[in-house]
Amino acid sequence: MAKPKTTEKQAWKTPGKARQHILELRQKNTCSAFMLVDSIVQLRKLGQNPEPFLRAQGVSPNEYLILEKILKLLFRHRAALEDRRTDFETLTVLVEVGMRSRAMALRQVSKGIAIDAATVRSYETQLRERRMSGVGRVRERLQIAVLHKARETDLPLRISSRMD
């Protein structure tokens, strides 16, 4: 029996097909994230629904949600980001990462420094390392390790608050 032909509407509902189409578009580099964000803004100004246009550009419903978040989060920095033609992956990472690293990345952007996804991820790593390397944390970790050892060996133990 012949398989029924999938309509555009059905393909839109099939995440695999939409994703494949997006990957093809990304490889061809035919649409930038900012063109899409811009189109959402322009179509909203005209009182139209941007979804059909974005669907034609091969944007999945998940990517549409990401674009909406980008629009809300980065609207003030849009001009700076636009100048640098920041890629879609970077914007996605900016949406995903923690508030502090996002703020650091956006500060760089507003100074006119180009950023990419790797830079944002490195900010996130730096912040994590800085949080973990606090002297108090080190002491706390050492004390926990000593307590665990004492439990294992049944030794009576007193931990001073001073590091010897």
Walk along the chain (164 residues) and give the pLDDT tens digit of each residue: 454 444 444 444 444 554 555 455 555 544 555 566 667 767 777 777 878 877 777 777 777 776 676 666 555 555 545 544 455 556 555 555 555 566 666 666 555 555 666 666 676 676 666 666 555 555 555 655 665 555 555 544 444 444 44
- Say whether both 23 and 104 belong to one domain: yes
**94 contacts 73 by C-beta, under 8 angstroms:** yes
- Say whether both 100 and 56 belong to one domain: yes
Helix, strand or coil for residue 160? Answer: coil
**Per-residue confidence (pLDDT) for residue 60, from 0 to 100:** 74
- Say whether both 127 and 48 belong to one domain: yes
Residue among 58, 51, 67, 60 at smallest CA distance from 29: 58
- Say whether both 37 and 105 belong to one domain: yes
**Per-residue confidence (pLDDT) for residue 61, from 0 to 100:** 76
Residue 120 lies in a domain: yes
- Say whether both 144 and 65 belong to one domain: no
DSSP for residue 111 = T
Residue 93 lies in a domain: yes
Residue 122 lies in a domain: yes
Residue 144 lies in a domain: yes
Instruction: State pLDDT tens for residues 70-113.
Output: 666 555 555 545 544 455 556 555 555 555 566 666 666 555 55
Total number of domains in the chain: 2
- Say whether both 68 and 104 belong to one domain: yes
The predicted model scores a pTM of: 0.32
- Say whether both 101 and 163 belong to one domain: no
Residue among 83, 73, 78, 71 at smallest CA distance from 113: 83
- Say whether both 81 and 124 belong to one domain: yes
| Residues spanned by the domain of 62 | 16-133
Residue 10 lies in a domain: no
**DSSP string covering 33-66:** HHHHHHHHHHHHHTT--SHHHHHHTT--HHHHHH
Residue 9 lies in a domain: no
- Say whether both 164 and 145 belong to one domain: yes
- Say whether both 20 and 40 belong to one domain: yes
Alpha-carbon distance 3 to 18, whole Å?
A: 19
**Per-residue confidence (pLDDT) for residue 122, from 0 to 100:** 72
**77 contacts 106 by C-beta, under 8 angstroms:** yes
